[in-house]
Structure 1
Amino acid sequence: MKLPADVPWLNDAGALALCSTLESAGFQALFVGGCVRNAVMGIAASDIDIATDATPDEVQKVCKAAGFKTIPTGIDHGTLTVVIGSEPYEVTTFRNDVTTNGRHAVVAFSTHVVEDARRRDFTMNALYARSDGTLVDPLGGLPDALARRVIFINDAAARIREDYLRILRFFRFSAWYADPVHGFDADALAAIAEHLDGLAQLSAERVGSEMTKLLGAPDPAPAVAVMERVGVLPRLLCGAQARWLAPLIHAESMLDLSPDPMRRLVVLGGEDVAERLRLSKADARKTQLLGELVGTAVGAAELGYRYGLATALDVIALRAALFETPLNKGDAAAATRGSAAKFPVAAHDLMPALHGPALGAKLKELETRWIASGFILTRAQLLG
């Protein structure tokens, strides 16, 4: 099978030059992973990764002779970043796992693509392609990719014991790529249920990164619901519940909101979420603010005025989901109106008659009246 000739990365001048350089030196150069998987599924890909039987030293030597810059970004694991023009390309030597402990692997370089494929996680990720678009399918994963089935390579339990993060990757890939008609692979779920204790070995940063990617999928609700049923979600976020995620996604679609992992984290709930997922300060502040505003009586227009349209719409969607109420589209219009409103009174309008705390109190009183009027009262009316 050949990929369509119009696949963008098959026409990327830098990538083709890199492949040609390695092949001219007698080495294999195969596109691998996400770019190939996505091409098979007809999905755009952002990253271009290349696998080769050349060792890192050989890659460096060949690229230097061709005038390409190399950066040893992960040389201990066989990965170099090759910069051609201003574009970076990751090149990784075929590898074979020697030992694994659930978090780290000791790898040996290999000259066989089959060995490299066997150490990957899912069959849909063990696809390679030559520079002319010819698919290389060492493990027979193409049917799974075409059918959008997320299946562990060989024994699911063995793959999980090699790296417990694969439990979360299973749900993330299911959310992004699986056809819901097929459901979730029973062998994978059984293996996951047997290895829940391994999740404790994962760092908060790794868990947070995977959860953020998972919740950024168009509709992660089915995957998160299964995570809860098999016991993964409560291990990650004590007290979190999946029940309101699907209603939130419905509300998002009604408001034409893009997927937002932080908004979705708020609807899941749970204890110490920012710490357990090691959220950035900005994301932690956002989830805290949204969580606080959902339970207030602040109306849509005032939300838009005080916090901006994006935050107001987030709160409107969250309230509809958490309170299980129909979405009022008029709220979106009110939030939009509020976000554009400008309070017509300034401090100097009340001076010198008022100053200090009295001035602040009067401004607050007038602003409250103005908001209650639907932003209609004019400066003259407020000061009259």
Structure 2
Amino acid sequence: MKKTLLSVAAAMAVAATTVATAGTAHAATVWTVSPGQSIQAAVDAAQPGDTIQLAAGTYQESVQVVKDNITIKGAGSGTDGTVLTPPAAFPDNHCGSHQAGICFRGTVDGTDGPTSHATSFVTGGRVTGVRIDGFRVGISLSATDGTRADGNTVLNSGSYGVTDTVSKNSTIGANVISDAARAAIYVGNYNIPASHTVVTGNKVIRSAYGISSYDSSGVDVTRNAVSGSCSGFFSFSDSYRVPGGELLNVANNAFTSNNANCPGQYGFPQAVQGSGVILVGATHATVQQNAVSGNIGPDPMSGGIVVVTSHTFDPADPTEEGDISVTSNVLHGNGPADLVWDGAGSGITFTYNACGTSSPSGLCSAS
């Protein structure tokens, strides 16, 4: 079934006529929205299972989804597709308070930070084919389960390109993200041990900490390309809040020339520059089959793949880093070294890595 949204009132009237099938099942509806019409009105009128189809053109909105299984589908993420830019005034809701473009939002008993818990999840849902430009946060997934953000372009975010917080089983894939002030993609699923988040096939350019995860478990970072940032992938204290949580897996990515300079900021005191992969206080992690080159900087966390304790930066952090495998990576032209380890932790292994330099020496398996 397909509907065209003419106004809020008309949308609500049309939604009321949607025909149910099989007794209680909702017949999925496609709501078509054109420039000048309201995406939020279509979302508000939609029922779980519906699709919001956005025509090509520019929309000035911040859109919040608090229902299950809603798809927002643009006409493509190029300049001639669906373009979302900030409104003159943001709405009075979670999405608006974060100055975000598109938000999927469940219920959280905190502020989406490390001490927060989701009390109810928005399940399913997807945003795809949208070009999102100039928001503080491009796409926010908060207290969601099984939500997808894929095939989008996210530009010029004042904070993050895509955030995935207090959520589980998300897929963030095949997006192009550039010029995010903090990180292009940020995963913080915190107190959720049963999560499995997939970050795959994204292209990230000039976005501070590139792809990052904090206090998270069950994160797969695969087949992404990150360049021109301060770091390619940055993990801090992952898994310590959820002992026994699934693995952090960083595999088959390309981290190239991430030589921008991020001074100590956002509560993290250490400057970051010229880092391919950084694991700070990580546990249960594998870094494998990545191509890491040309990441050069002067800081303690500079280099190709860097494994360091979190105690240096946060003495109160209870993490005991360990069970980390760095294997079968190809590294060259990184400085001060291709592989860097501060010697802390237990069960940390470096095997079959093709590289030329390491600190301490002897971590490379081939030159």
What TM bracket, shorter-length normalisation? under 0.3
TM-score, normalised on structure 2? 0.27
TM-score, normalised on structure 1? 0.26
RCO higher in structure (CA 8 A, sep ≥6): 1
- Greater fraction helix: 1
The structure with the largest alpha-carbon Rg is: 1
